[in-house]
Amino acid sequence: MTYANLQRWNLAGGLVTVLTVLVAVIWAFPLYWGVITSLKPEDEVVRPVLEFWPEHFTFENYISAITRTQIGRWYINSLIVAGSVTLITVFTCLLCGYAISQLKFPGRRILWGLILASFMVPTQTLIINYFELMASFGLLNTLPGIILPQLINPVIIIVYKQFFDSVPKDFREAAVMDNASEWRIFYKVFMPMNWGVTAALSIVCFIWTWNAFLWPFLAVSHAEMMTVPVGITQVNDSFGISYAHRLAAAVLAGLPVAVTYLIFQRRVTQAITLSAGIKG
């Protein structure tokens, strides 16, 4: 590489770096503004002057959000809903993906075609059906009513099926020669190979369910049964027009997801890559 080419390469790299930093700042500024505003007294928030740093830090907004709303109950509801959906969805999708990939049974191709077809149907188009079913079962305003419609996730089945398809057939053939049962083959041979995929999908499924808003919003009208994303919409009624209080509640609502992502960001990136490969 000549000196002129090296200079052009360094210039291009510098421009890309500057552009990346600029985009990151633009993306992160609303988050920064929300956190900083939540730490200001209300009289500083409503000033006509744009201030990027509080004159007086206060945690009163967070204390009020915790003590004057049912956010603790909403946290518990969200943990129950997100945890239940994650455990049930990942486990059932794991079994379904394994069965379609490795077992031979009547209707396997039809079942696989239905799963692929359901992947193409937007979830929003099924909301009315979900509502009518949950209403007929008497599950509106209950946690099971929030959980059940969110257990359908064909993307996870497709990811598992593709993973099991990629496992060399020699492993299964060797286990069959040892007279291993189907359950033993699944548990002893295939399960140890996909812990990374399972962990990644579990984390992303938990985050998706925690952030879900549309169905929990429609399924629940009682404040004590709401999840965090739905519950913080009720903060407006509690505080009136108080921007600092609202933003404090919003920060508290997003905190678990942010912490989860920071801790498991590599697994989250892996799961998003797998899902993007399916969608592509």
CA distance 145 to 137: 9
Amino acid letter, residue 149: P
| Cβ partners under 8 Å of residue 130, min gap 6 | 149, 215, 219
Look at residues 94, 4, 39, 61 and name the one whose alpha carbon lies nearest to residue 232: 61
Is 206 within 8 Å of 82 (Cβ atoms)?
yes
* Burial of 54 from C-beta contacts in 10 A (0-12 / 13-18 / 19+): middle
Q: Which residue has the higher pLDDT, 87 or 65?
A: 87
Q: What is the mean pLDDT of residues 49-59?
A: 81
Instruction: Give me the pLDDT at residue 1, please.
Output: 52
* Burial of 160 from C-beta contacts in 10 A (0-12 / 13-18 / 19+): buried
Is 139 within 8 Å of 148 (Cβ atoms)?
yes
Helices (H), 167-213: 169-177, 182-184, 195-211
Q: Is the per-residue pLDDT at 119 higher than 80?
A: no
Mean pLDDT of the residues in the chain: 82
- The pTM for the full model equals 0.80
CA distance 248 to 36: 10
Hunting for tokens 């907004």 — which residue is that? 61
Residue 33 token pair: 């503004």
Q: Please tell me the total number of residues recorded for the chain in this structure.
A: 280
Q: Where are the domains of the chain?
A: 3-61, 64-279
Is 139 within 8 Å of 75 (Cβ atoms)?
no
The alpha carbon dihedral of 214, 215, 219, 225 has a sign of: negative
Residue 224 token pair: 């004590």
In which band, very low, low, confident or very high, does the pLDDT at 134 lie, cut at 50, 70 and 90?
Answer: very high
Q: By three-state DSSP, how is residue 227 classified? A: coil
Look at residues 69, 119, 108 and name the one whose alpha carbon lies nearest to residue 230: 69
Q: Say which CATH topology domain 64-279 has.
A: MetI-like fold (1.10.3720)
Instruction: Give me the pLDDT at residue 163, please.
Output: 85
Instruction: Give me the pLDDT at residue 279, please.
Output: 45
CA distance 236 to 20: 36
Q: What is the mean pLDDT of residues 197-202?
A: 85
Q: Is the per-residue pLDDT at 12 higher than 60?
A: yes
